[in-house]
Amino acid sequence: MTIQTEQAQLTGIIDDICYYMLQMVSAKGLQAAEMRRLVGLVRVSGLAYLQDKTFGTNLWNCFVAARTLPITADTVAMVRQQIMALQPTDMIATLVVETSIIYCLTTECLFISRRPSSRVMTCSR
């Protein structure tokens, strides 16, 4: 399998993932604009990024930008669930979907770990 032979499926998968990610952005301002810009670049240049092996880094930058926005772990979880519903059949497309899911899970964990705890858990023997 090559990027050229999977081009049709990859284009659709990348477009879907970017569409779902943009649903996280409801805020206005510079951070939201930056997130939209980064996602737009992945959407337009996704195949080129795969070709030059920078897709993962560019996609990750979108998730880093998302962490500056007023969104929650639940919002990212909705995006993850939408991505999980994608049904790629080709190898590279499957890797793109799995990478996106991992990035969603990582972002969710970061949001959850930063939540203020309403209770202190103690361990007793």
- Each residue's pLDDT tens digit, 38-78: 999 999 999 999 999 999 999 999 999 998 888 888 999 99
- Cα–Cα distance measured from residue 118 to residue 103, given in angstroms and rounded to the nearest whole number: 27
**Domain hosting residue 19, numbered range:** 7-113
Instruction: List the structure tokens of 24.
Output: 């996280």
pLDDT (0 to 100) of residue 123? 42
The structural domain count of the chain equals: 1
Answer yes or no: is pLDDT of 27 > 60: yes
Name which of 99, 102, 22 is nearest 65 in CA terms: 22
Q: Is residue 29 part of a domain?
A: yes
Contacts of 81 (CB under 8 A, 6+ apart): none
Residues 6+ apart with CB under 8 A from 61: 38
Collapsing DSSP to helix, strand or coil, 27 comes out as coil
Residues 94 and 120: their CA atoms lie apart, in Å, by 41
- Global pTM reads 0.86
Q: Which of 63, 55, 82 is nearest to 25 (CA)?
A: 63
